[in-house]
């Protein structure tokens, strides 16, 4: 092994497409090389077992399971909670219905019952109206699914009292709640509370090690021991039994223990970008609504659609993508510095000139 193999790839672009693009840190790479491993399908990988135990402790849940992706984590949780022919109540921009290849239909046999909510933040008031009445010809509600932070909604964060009220209402009605907490550590940073407090009332939570926390691969799902026992069956069914995955879990442990502390820096950079963008003619964004590491802004006033805007930005070595024809998304992360944000704003100014 050469020393170079431990080095991150040289940076040629400012990549704001997603926090999924983060490179593993040198410490992660070392830990991966040295990880003690076993066969995780036999549940004998000591590093995976340690990661699952630490995640359960940090989230104050009975048990945790390491899965390859956030998508698999969400879809396993949904499969455990629901039965074929049921409905899942969620916000219309929820990742699990928009960007997970209709797996909720194909694997769980469920349909979404969506609600359009301001900033992607649902309330119990809205949800309770969507719970199916007990008529034999109506698909029955099987699950309520929340997302915190809301990825396509612009990294928005649930006020904890709002999320807790939803959980209390759901439980009083006999319904479970799953939280897509892909970026729950960003939500915790914004709220100044622990991830355990955010997840206290939900029945299951998924979070990603491979986004802002910078691990190369991996997500976790957490819940009761019974939930995780069932989840293990569906992880195998989906081809997620990974053998010597301690190599990956070793990076995941560093992501979990060390990386949350630096997320505030990403939020500050997102705020800098938001305030800068708000001052550029033709661009619409409310900087006050940017509370984590994701910004969504409207480029319609520049006379460009997002495809053209992205193309021109790429010619200035800044990568970003649209979430539709008018709205662009920027995501800050470990590999984006304050200086990169200043340069990005210069690039946006130069392409937005009439």
* Contact positions vs ligand TLP (CB under 6 A): 18, 20, 69-71, 74, 95, 99, 147, 151, 180, 182, 208, 210, 219
Are 208 and 183 within 8 A, CB to CB?
yes
Q: Give the nearest distance from C-beta 152 to ligand TLP in angstroms.
A: 8
Residue 88 bridge partners (DSSP): 112, 143
Least Å distance, CB 20 to ligand TLP, is: 5
- Least distance (Å) from ligand TLP to the CB of residue 174? 26
Distances (CA, A) of 60 to 49, 52, 203, 224, 252: 16, 12, 12, 10, 18
Q: Which is nearer to ligand TLP, 118 or 168 (CB)?
A: 118
User: How many C-beta atoms surround the C-beta of residue 36 within 10 A?
Assistant: 12
Query: Least distance (Å) from ligand TLP to the CB of residue 17?
Result: 7
CB of 219 to ligand TLP, least distance (A): 6
Q: What is the DSSP string of 64-87?
A: EEEES-HHHHHHHHHHHH--TT-E
Minimum CB separation from ligand TLP for residue 120, in Å? 10
State the residue for tokens 């807790």.
Answer: 164
Q: Which is nearer to ligand TLP, 231 or 280 (CB)?
A: 231
Buried b (16+ CB within 10 A) or exposed e, 43-52: eebebbbbbb
d(C-alpha 159, C-alpha 148), whole Å: 10
* Closer residue to ligand TLP in complex, CB, 95/267: 95
Query: In this complex, which beta carbon is closest to ligand TLP, that of residue 221 or of residue 253?
Result: 221
52 or 147, CB closer to ligand TLP? 147
Which tokens sit at 251? 């990076």
What is the DSSP-derived secondary structure letter of residue 60? T
Judged by beta carbon, residue 88 or residue 280, the one nearer ligand TLP is: 88
- Spatial separation of the C-alpha atoms in residues 199 and 179, rounded to whole Å: 8
- Residue 148 or 352: which CB sits closer to ligand TLP? 148
Closest residue to bound ligand TLP by CB:
70
- 222 DSSP 8-state letter: E
- Tell me the closest approach of the beta carbon of residue 304 to ligand TLP, in angstroms: 22
Q: Which two tokens stand for residue 173?
A: 């009605």
DSSP SS3 for 310: helix
Partners of 219 in the β-ladder? 67, 208
């Amino acid at each position: 092994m050469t020393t170079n193999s431990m080095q991150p790839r040289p940076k040629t672009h400012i990549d704001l497409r997603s926090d999924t693009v983060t490179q593993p840190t040198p410490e992660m790479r070392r830990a991966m090389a040295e990880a003690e491993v076993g066969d995780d399908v036999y549940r004998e990988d000591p590093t995976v077992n340690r990661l699952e135990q630490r995640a359960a402790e940090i989230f104050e849940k009975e048990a945790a399971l390491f899965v390859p992706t956030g998508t698999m984590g969400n879809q396993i949780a949904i499969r455990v909670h629901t039965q074929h022919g049921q409905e899942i109540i969620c916000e219309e921009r929820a990742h699990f219905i928009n960007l997970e290849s209709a797996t909720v239909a194909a694997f769980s046999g469920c349909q979404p019952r969506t609600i359009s909510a301001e900033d992607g933040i649902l309330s119990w008031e809205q949800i309770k109206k969507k719970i199916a009445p007990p008529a034999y010809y109506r698909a029955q509600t099987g699950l309520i699914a929340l997302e915190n932070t809301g990825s396509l909604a612009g990294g928005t964060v649930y006020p904890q009292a709002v999320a807790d009220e939803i959980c209390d209402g759901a439980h009083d009605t006999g319904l479970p709640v799953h939280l897509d907490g892909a970026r729950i550590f960003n939500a915790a940073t914004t709220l100044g509370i622990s991830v355990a407090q955010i997840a206290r009332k939900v029945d299951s939570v998924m979070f990603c090690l491979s986004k802002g926390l910078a691990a190369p691969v991996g997500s976790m799902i957490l819940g009761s021991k019974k939930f995780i026992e069932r989840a293990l069956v569906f992880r195998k069914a989906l081809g997620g039994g990974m053998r010597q995955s301690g190599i990956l879990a070793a990076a995941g442990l560093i992501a979990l223990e060390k990386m949350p502390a630096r997320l505030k820096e990403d939020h500050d950079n997102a705020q800098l970008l938001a305030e800068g963008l708000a001052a550029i003619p033709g661009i619409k964004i409310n900087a006050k609504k940017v509370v984590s590491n994701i910004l969504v802004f409207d480029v319609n006033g520049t006379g460009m659609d997002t495809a053209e805007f992205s193309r021109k930005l790429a010619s200035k070595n800044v990568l970003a993508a649209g979430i539709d024809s008018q709205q662009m998304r920027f995501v800050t992360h470990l590999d984006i510095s304050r200086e990169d944000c200043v340069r990005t704003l210069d690039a946006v100014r130069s392409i937005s000139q009439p």
